[in-house]
Every structure is written in structure tokens, then in C-alpha cells.
Structure 1
């Protein structure tokens, strides 16, 4: 299945949204600072970006890594998408 492409901000927002859905994060009322995705050459699993340096993440590192890896499997980073107007109909 082809991955959907997203810009930096959209990926950052998606990861943030999913992190806030982690049970422990919600229960604790933690607010995790999510960094911008960093592009890299496509790796063996077909991923072309990653994130590191989350703020206020102590104790949640494993859960956060699982979320980031899941989003990396679903979406490619396409930096050119940041400069176009959003499509009100989704994609």
C-alpha cells in the first residue's frame, strides 16, 4: 500500500494527537512537546523521516516511540506540501 504524504506540521500534529490518546499520558494530564519531523534518506523499512527530542516525555518514551513508528509507517514526509494551500476536502 502506498503511503500518504504529509508536510512537517501535519505530521507533527498527527503525532501530537496520537500521543495525547495514550492512556497513561491522558491519565497523568501530561503535555508532551512534540518536535518537528526530521527528513532522512529512505531506510530499509521505507521510512523517510523521524522525530527525537520530545519534551516532558520522561516515563512515556516507549509509548511515544511506538506512536512515532506507527505514523512513520503510514505517512511519508513531503516538505513541498507545507507551501500549498490546504485542501478543504481532505487529501
Structure 2
């Protein structure tokens, strides 16, 4: 399966969205802090990013792991750098 590409903010938002839709997390009313994804060499599944150090996550490690596994299977971190041009024109 070919992964879609997202930038770091988009990946962070997608993991956040999926986590905070889980019934266990909704029921407990907990707000988990989702870190920015970190670029890494592609692993054995060809995923090129990881996330560590979630905040306020004690007791939800399995939920986080299942969301990460699903998102990592669907998306890769875009490494493209957009050229915004020189604002000073020199």
C-alpha cells in the first residue's frame, strides 16, 4: 500500500483527532498531548516517522499504540521543503 504524505502538523492533527475519538478517552475526559512526529530512516514497514513522549497518557499506552500503528500504516512524513522565495528579493 502506498502511503499518503502529510507534513508534521497534519500528522500531529490526525493522530490527535483519532485519539480523542476513542470511546475510552472520551469517557474519561482526558486530554492527551500529542507530540510532533519525528523523521527517521524508513523502518521495516517503510514508515519514515515516529512519535514519542505523549503527555497525560498514563493508562492509555495501548490506545496510543493502536492509533499510531494505524496512522503509520497510512501516512508518511513529507520531507519536501516548500520554497517560499526570498521576501527581500535579493
- Common topology (TM > 0.5): yes
Quote the RMSD (CA, aligned, Å).
1.6
Q: Which has the greater radius of gyration?
A: 2
SS in 2 for 1:2: coil
* Greater helix fraction, Structure 1 or Structure 2: 1
Runs of 4+ in 1 over 4 A off after TM superposition: none
Q: Given the two structures, how large is their TM-score scaled by the length of structure 1?
A: 0.86
- C-alpha displacement of 1:69: 1.2
Q: Which residue of 2 aligns with 1:38?
A: 38
- C-alpha displacement of 1:70: 0.7
Equivalent residue pairs, number: 84
Q: Which residue of 2 aligns with 1:73?
A: 73
* Alignment gaps of 5+ in structure 2: 84-90
Q: Which residue of 2 aligns with 1:51?
A: 51
